[in-house]
Structure 1
Amino acid sequence: MPSRQEICDYVAELFSGCRFQDHSNNGLQVEGKDEVNRIAFAVDACQRVFTQAAAGKFDLLVVHHGMSWGGGIKMVSSYHAERLKTLLCHGISLLAYHLPLDAHPEFGNNAVLADLLGLEQREPFFPYDGDTIGFCGQLPAAQAPAELCALLEKELGGRCLTLPASGNPPIRRLGIVSGGGGSAIEYCQQQHLDCLLTGEIGHQHVHYAWELGITVIAAGHYATETTGIKALQKKIAAAFPVECEFLDCPTGL
């Protein structure tokens, strides 16, 4: 049975090449049991996931969106207290990786989405907090926005919002930024891309896309960020003799 520290060290080494100035406190955020037999994986550190992890008798929970950001939790009260109580009372450790899991070139959210679409001539795309976070490239063949949406909805399980450029042109070159990637729209124009695939965008981004002639496909913040954590689960399951399970807790966004 591996130790918590062995697994944390292994994951830290996987992400050692990332250079983000990340306000997320990546790494071990809550310390639980020393030995690990069962590992749960999820997108978000939230009470619904913690309750599932406790019921499943998991020793370690690995997430994309952790509990501690920037200066960390200021007061342990209200929902913060309930979340910590659930983890600590059941000896569950919490391990979180945010931007590194978006950007990893093999099993990050954006790399897995690029693999799903068969993206060719792939290049790093969209500088963010000291490193590039996404990928851009060319589809094997031009596709209508509706075709691309149908594929994404089938593979990711969410619903896509499509904002087509004027004339609803086909998509050949696109950029990928999972989660909330609306600020990458201008970079799409600079890179002569037809489309941005992201999770969600803000109200103001709709006008940027229309005015710059960029089609936007918003396939869901949650849905686009299940990809990396599931790929990391496979890496850890292959490296350690532990039971691994993904805890699905969609937000509808």
Structure 2
Amino acid sequence: MNRNELEQYLDKLLTPAIIKDYAPNGLQIQGKEEITKIVTGVTASQALINKAIDEKADAILVHHGYFWKNESYVIRGMKHKRIKALLDNDISLFAYHLPLDIHPTLGNNAQLAKLLNIDITGPLELGNKLSVAIQGELTEESSSDVFAQKISEKLNRTCLHIAPPSNKPIKTVAWCTGGGQDYIELAAEQGIDAFISGEASEKTTHIAHEMDIHFFAAGHHATERYGVKALGEYLAKEKNIDVVFVDIDNPV
């Protein structure tokens, strides 16, 4: 597949132009023109780049790429080593951040809902079709202990559970994968029973306790494995291209 053709296909599928982001979406580092093999992963770390070189991949497709807002423009140290490895091996780097979070079927939020059997009911930011956080319902009401165990088992990661004093049963859920913990207050204001994210902040505990909402943090990496994996599988099927998903373990 031609590199430019792949970028155009991904841009049409994920529509990055419609959402303001913290980093450029699409082709971030240009490699060879023809792409026959792609390695997908959550973050464009050195370990993922090394794996792509071992796999003789022509491109890497990730959720977390480079050139973030407020990041230094200087290319030295770790950043130099990563970019040099990509350029030396003529490997393209494609990255899609928020567009991959919010995609209605392939996105991180949609894939997490599928994994946990949550029926999506709409955006958490009411009226905003591009809301990065969404909400839904469980098929059956669940105790917090059972739900915490389910999250831990499905994501293969012991989740942090902060229960409110009521320890109420859970039927309605809101979530935002990755570093979306600050949406918990909005969820609580709407009377939602539980909020799921990847990370927790010091203030999250107080919000959960004082606003009567369960909070679950299951890891930034663990909650965002599934979007880029689904995207790669979709590409392999639709474009008949060799795609390998590589999960570089990350406890955070």
Q: TM-score, normalised by structure 2?
A: 0.94
The answer on whether the counterparts of 1:196 and 1:215 sit within 8 Å (CA) in structure 2 is yes
The answer on whether the counterparts of 2:166 and 2:212 sit within 8 Å (CA) in structure 1 is no
Pair 17,252 (structure 1): closer, same or farther in 2 beyond 3 Å:
closer
The answer on whether the counterparts of 2:161 and 2:215 sit within 8 Å (CA) in structure 1 is yes
Displacement, 1:28?
0.5
Q: How do 1:55-94 residues align onto structure 2 when only pairs under 5 Å count?
A: 55-70=54-69, 74-94=73-93
Task: Classify the secondary structure of the residue corresponding to 1:67.
Answer: coil
Question: Structure 1 residue 28 and structure 2 residue 27: aligned?
Answer: yes
The answer on whether the counterparts of 1:126 and 1:184 sit within 8 Å (CA) in structure 2 is no
Aligned to 2:18: 19
Displacement, 1:81?
0.7
Q: Deviations over 1:68-114 (max 9, x none)?
A: 11366511111111001111111110000001111111110001111
Instruction: Look up the equivalent residue of 1:51 and give its one-letter code.
Output: N
CA distance in 2, matches of 1:33, 1:121: 40
Displacement, 1:145?
1.8
CA distance in 1, matches of 2:67, 2:129: 20
Gaps of 5+ in 1: none
CA distance in 2, matches of 1:16, 1:72: 24
CA distance in 2, matches of 1:126, 1:65: 24
Aligned to 1:114: 113
Aligned to 1:171: 170
The answer on whether the counterparts of 1:136 and 1:173 sit within 8 Å (CA) in structure 2 is yes
Instruction: Look up the equivalent residue of 1:78 and give its one-letter code.
Output: G
The answer on whether the counterparts of 2:30 and 2:92 sit within 8 Å (CA) in structure 1 is yes
The answer on whether the counterparts of 1:21 and 1:130 sit within 8 Å (CA) in structure 2 is no
Question: Structure 1 residue 144 and structure 2 residue 149: aligned?
Answer: no
Task: Classify the secondary structure of the residue corresponding to 2:137.
Answer: strand
CA distance in 1, matches of 2:33, 2:39: 16
Displacement, 1:120?
2.8
CA distance in 1, matches of 2:245, 2:43: 11
The answer on whether the counterparts of 1:20 and 1:130 sit within 8 Å (CA) in structure 2 is no
Displacement, 1:134?
2.2
Question: Structure 1 residue 207 and structure 2 residue 206: aligned?
Answer: yes
Q: Deviations over 1:16-57 (max 9, x none)?
A: 276321121111000001111110000011111111111111
Pair 19,191 (structure 1): closer, same or farther in 2 beyond 3 Å:
farther
Instruction: Look up the equivalent residue of 2:114 and give its one-letter code.
Output: D
Aligned to 2:182: 183
Aligned to 1:247: 246
Instruction: Look up the equivalent residue of 1:6 and give its one-letter code.
Output: E
The answer on whether the counterparts of 1:198 and 1:218 sit within 8 Å (CA) in structure 2 is yes
Pair 73,25 (structure 1): closer, same or farther in 2 beyond 3 Å:
farther
Task: Classify the secondary structure of the residue corresponding to 2:184.
Answer: helix
Pair 240,72 (structure 1): closer, same or farther in 2 beyond 3 Å:
farther
CA distance in 2, matches of 1:38, 1:73: 31
Identity of aligned residues (%): 33
The answer on whether the counterparts of 1:50 and 1:86 sit within 8 Å (CA) in structure 2 is yes
* Two-structure CA RMSD over aligned residues (Å): 1.8
The answer on whether the counterparts of 2:16 and 2:25 sit within 8 Å (CA) in structure 1 is no
The answer on whether the counterparts of 1:19 and 1:130 sit within 8 Å (CA) in structure 2 is no
CA distance in 2, matches of 1:7, 1:191: 41
Task: Classify the secondary structure of the residue corresponding to 2:157.
Answer: coil
Displacement, 1:130?
9.4
